Chains A and B, each alone.
Chain A
Amino acid sequence: MSSRGARISAKGLGFTYLGDRSPALSDVSFEAEVGTETWITGPNAAGKSTLLAVLAGVIPTVVEGKLQGTIEVGSPLEGSAPVPAMVMQDAGIYLFRTVFDEIAFPLENRGVSTEDLETAVRAALAVVGIAGLEGRLLHTLSGGERQKVAVAAALAVDPDLLLLDEPFEQLDPASVDEVLTLATGCAADGATVLIATREADHVPDGARRIHLVAGVRTEDEAQAAPAYVHVARPMGDAVLEMRSVTHRFGTGGGVDEVDLVVHAGESVALLGPNGAGKTTLMRHAIGLLRPDAGSVRVLGEDIGPRRVWELARHVGLLFQNPDDQVFNRVVDVEVAWSLIAQGMSRTAAIERARAVMVELGIEGLAQENPHEITASQRQLVAFASVLVADPRVIVLDEPTKALDATAAETVAAAVDRRLDEGAGVLLVTHDLRFAARLADRCVVLADGSAIADGPAGELLADEDLLRRARLLTRARPAESRS
């Protein structure tokens, strides 16, 4: 018998968060054996994270609420408790300043001696492919690097029970494969692994699966992803032009002599692995970064002397983290804020905001506090706040982050309508399916340089290119385009 792993037995598990009326999890029963990999799937607000939090003991130890049913997490060895480890959904939340301390902390808590600590930390970083980052400060890492640090911190303790909550969200497809391989390896070594994801694409055929919808375990009746029909539109003049843009950071990274043009009615997808310079380039579109060399033109005018808030009248930017963009107390005011800041009356602005919210199906959130809604709802609120000002240039940084397929299609349909109205769209994404759905053209970045620029249909079919740009997973995700 394996001395590792954990046996899980859950019966009638339910949980209602303090202050909530409806349960986040209701009557869920399942069992997981030693050395198995179980996938928890479902759309947004299905209860996936809640279930993992219960298994990790975060509920009810840290998070208050009403827990029902029974759950037993035991070791195959009599008298010993399994060692759990969890990767939480938001890699932006971490404990310490340096990568070293972040990894060392769980090791110390599991009794690793000070003498062995350094070797163990270096080994954990090497396993997830970020060796040499131990001295880095966490707040200076990219989202993908932070996600890998979180995975390293979990794997470092050699856990009996490994819980991964949306571990792929900020990773490029090749890194997703690497993390999946590590999780599978953990299960093969005897650990019990549970992975929560809203993206059914990641789930291997025949995998053990718990599918949740609104907190209840159900059979997955999801339809196969539709074959997207890409609509070609007539293109107008260039609305965004970047010519030989170079921007280098003092700490390394940046972009080097990149050309990028977006025309009215055209959607351009900016693709590339973690740290390729996508976000850096995108921030130039609205003047949040200024090029060291080269030029940026919006609606034919050089943005050189223009301030960010002046450019905001023409350029709408969705930040990578919607939480960065949300700062009002009520959702409808949040969506309307851009218009109010630009001088529109509050009543007129809120009226316009409500129309956009209806379009995105979030009108029911109008009076909610944006900090208290789910991550996917916040993403839609942030997206609505971009659309409300009717920008001629729409720049979207990972717009499908935290969204399930239905919500992602809502976003795509809204973008389609703006393209029909003559807006130009610059789309930064790791999601090739979404890029195939929306993009007319793709620009592929690697190490700060554009390595390809061409029609989306051609580039997304070029497996060699996608592999070089770490955009290809084991399962080929991009839909064929008609």
Chain B
Amino acid sequence: MSTDTAGGLPAFEPGAFPHPVGLLALPVGPRMFLTCCGVLAVALSASISVLVVQLAALLMVAIALRILTPLLKTWRTVGWVSASIVVIYAWAYPGSTDYVWVFGVQGFLSGLLIVVRLLGFVTVLYLMLLSTGPLAIVRWVGDVNDDLGIMVSLTLSVVPVMKQQMETTIQAQQARGLEMGGNLVRKLRAYLAVMIPVVVKSLVRAYGMAALLHVRGYGSGRRDKPVFRVTAAVVTCYALGVLWVAASTVARLALR
């Protein structure tokens, strides 16, 4: 089977269907709040042990959501930076007094604190992104503000179209004899030749989309206002967020 898909892009919106259940069914608003609280709590935590406890708790949530593996894969993105930070701090931290060969223990611990905090930020944010599809986030933005939601949605829908248009234009130009290989200058010229029609076609498309917005009744003023339901899960979510920040603050003051 070929690995290529239609347009080389996924066909289904991740997380859109089937409908989320369990923890994933929690509305986006409370999740966003929890994410913000998580970022704040990690930023407030000044001890490695407190950060490690939070990290462990976050990983357990990831296990419950069945996204542990993709979450751990996101750590790779900061892997080299993290390793470099620890080594540089251990080697060059001026406040180090105890040494193991050329590496200072205090420098190592300072570097480790930064790395664990960095992993905390990454974990909190990716926990949100991996458990919440972009469509759900866009819908939430639309609930907060109608026009903003439409703007974000339209922008997101245009991105894959432009990518696909670029691929198609490259194929059309190749099918008409354009050599895409050769030296760098030749390649750059070929890609420049592709970019111009892609931009022009996007502008033409924008006019079509404006007409389509009109015929689909945008601005009719009949849209239902979103109903924000206060359920036990939502209240628990907000309470957890507040507790999380409060606990981090207390821990920071206690361990000062």
Check if A371 sits within 8 Å of B212, measured CB to CB. no
Q: CB distance A341 to B223 under 8 Å?
A: no
Query: Cβ of A112: which chain B residues have Cβ within 8 Å of it?
Result: 224
In the complex, what distance in Å separates the CA atom of A53 from the CA atom of B214?
Answer: 10
Q: Are B160 and A153 in contact (CB under 8 A)?
A: no
Query: Size band of the A side of the interface?
Result: 35 or more
For residue B224, which residues in chain A have a CB less than 8 angstroms away from its CB? 108, 111-114
Q: Determine whether the beta carbon of A97 is less than 8 Å from that of B156.
A: yes
Q: Which has the most chain B C-beta neighbours within 10 Å: A90, A139, A254, A288?
A: A139
How many B residues face the partner with a CB closer than 8 A? 63
Given contacts A101-B153, A112-B224, A327-B196, contact A251 B11 (CB under 8 A): yes
Residue-wise, chain B 180-215 has the 8 Å CB interface mask toward A (1 for contact) of 110000000000011011001100110111111111
In the assembled complex, A325 has its CB within 8 A of some CB on chain B: yes
Smallest Cβ-Cβ distance to A63: which chain B residue: B211
* A 302-320 binary contact with B (CB < 8 Å = 1; else 0): 0000011100110101010
Nearest chain A residue, comparing its CB with the CB of B178: A341
Segment at the A interface, from B1-9, B33-41, B71-79, B246-254: B1-9
* CB of A98 within 8 Å of the partner chain: yes
B214 touches A317 (CB 8 A): no
Partner of B175, one of A96, A97, A139, A288: A288
Q: A94 with B157: in contact, given A88-B212, A327-B196, A342-B177 (CB under 8 Å)?
A: yes
> Per-position contact with B for A223-261: 1 when CB-CB < 8 Å, else 0?
000000000000000000000000111110110000000
Q: How far is the CB of B119 from chain A (nearest CB, A)?
A: 31
B215 touches A327 (CB 8 A): no
Q: Among B96-104, B110-118, B124-132, B161-169, which stretch is in contact with chain A?
A: B161-169
Q: Which chain A residues lie closer than 8 Å to B219 at the CB level?
A: 109
One of A129-137, A182-190, A356-364, A423-431 contacting the partner: A129-137
Interface residue ranges of B125-164 to A (CB < 8 Å): 135, 153-154, 156-157, 160-161, 164
Distance to closest chain A CB from B89 (angstroms): 43
- Against B, the Cβ 8 Å flags (1 = close, 0 = not) of A51-76 are 00100111001110000000000000
- Looking at B3, B135, B172, B176, which has the most chain A CB atoms within 10 Å of its CB? B176
User: B214's contact among A61, A248, A313, A389, by CB below 8 Å, is which?
Assistant: A61
Q: In this assembly, does A93 line the interface, its C-beta being within 8 Å of a C-beta of chain B?
A: yes
For B169, the chain A residues whose CB sits under 8 A away are 324, 327
**A106 and B173 contact, CB distance less than 8 A:** no
Q: Which residue of chain A has its CB nearest to the CB of B223? A: A108
Q: Mark A170-208, 1 if CB is under 8 A from B, else 0.
A: 000000000000000000000000000000000000000
B24 to chain A, nearest CB (A): 15
CA distance in complex: A110, B154 (Å)? 19
Max chain A Cβ within 10 angstroms of own Cβ: one of B156, B179, B180, B226: B179
A475 at the interface (CB under 8 A from B): no
| A137-165 interface (Cβ within 8 A of B) | 137-141, 153, 157, 163
Name the residue in B16, B218, B219, B227 with the highest tally of chain A Cβ atoms < 10 Å from its Cβ.
B16
Q: Shortest Cβ distance from A213 into chain B, in angstroms?
A: 24
Query: Is B256 engaged at the interface, CB distance under 8 Å to the other chain?
Result: no
By the criterion CB–CB under 8 Å, are A95 and B154 in contact? yes
Q: Which among A61, A84, A94, A98 is the interface contact of B212 at CB below 8 angstroms?
A: A94
B160–A137 contact, CB under 8 A?
yes
Is A100 part of the binding interface, using a Cβ–Cβ cutoff of 8 Å? yes
In the complex, whether A301 has a CB less than 8 A from a CB of chain B is no
**B177 contacts A95, C-beta separation under 8 Å:** no
* A140 CB contact (under 8 Å) in B9, B154, B218: B9
Interchain nearest-CB distance for B38 vs A (Å)? 28
B residues 8-30 near A (Cβ < 8 Å) are 9-13, 16-17
For B213, the chain A residues whose CB sits under 8 A away are: 95
Partner of B6, one of A93, A140, A307, A385: A140
Partner of B209, one of A93, A109, A135, A251: A93
Contacts of B216 in A (CB 8 A): 85, 95, 105-106, 109, 153
Any B CB within 8 A of the CB of A292: yes
Q: How far is the CB of A255 from chain B (nearest CB, A)?
A: 11
Asked whether any CB of chain B lies closer than 8 Å to the CB of A86, the reply is yes
Within 8 A of B (CB), among A310-354: 312-313, 315, 317, 319, 323-327, 337-338, 341-342
Question: A106 touching B177 by the CB < 8 A rule?
Answer: no
Q: Could you list some 7 contacts between A and B, CB below 8 A?
A: A62-B207, A114-B227, A137-B12, A139-B164, A140-B11, A292-B1, A338-B176
5 further interface pairs, Cβ-Cβ under 8 Å (given A110-B222, A312-B175, A327-B194): A95-B153, A141-B6, A250-B2, A288-B174, A323-B201
Q: Which 10 A-B pairs have the closest CB atoms?
A: A327-B197, A135-B17, A109-B217, A93-B208, A111-B222, A341-B177, A308-B174, A86-B215, A106-B216, A140-B11
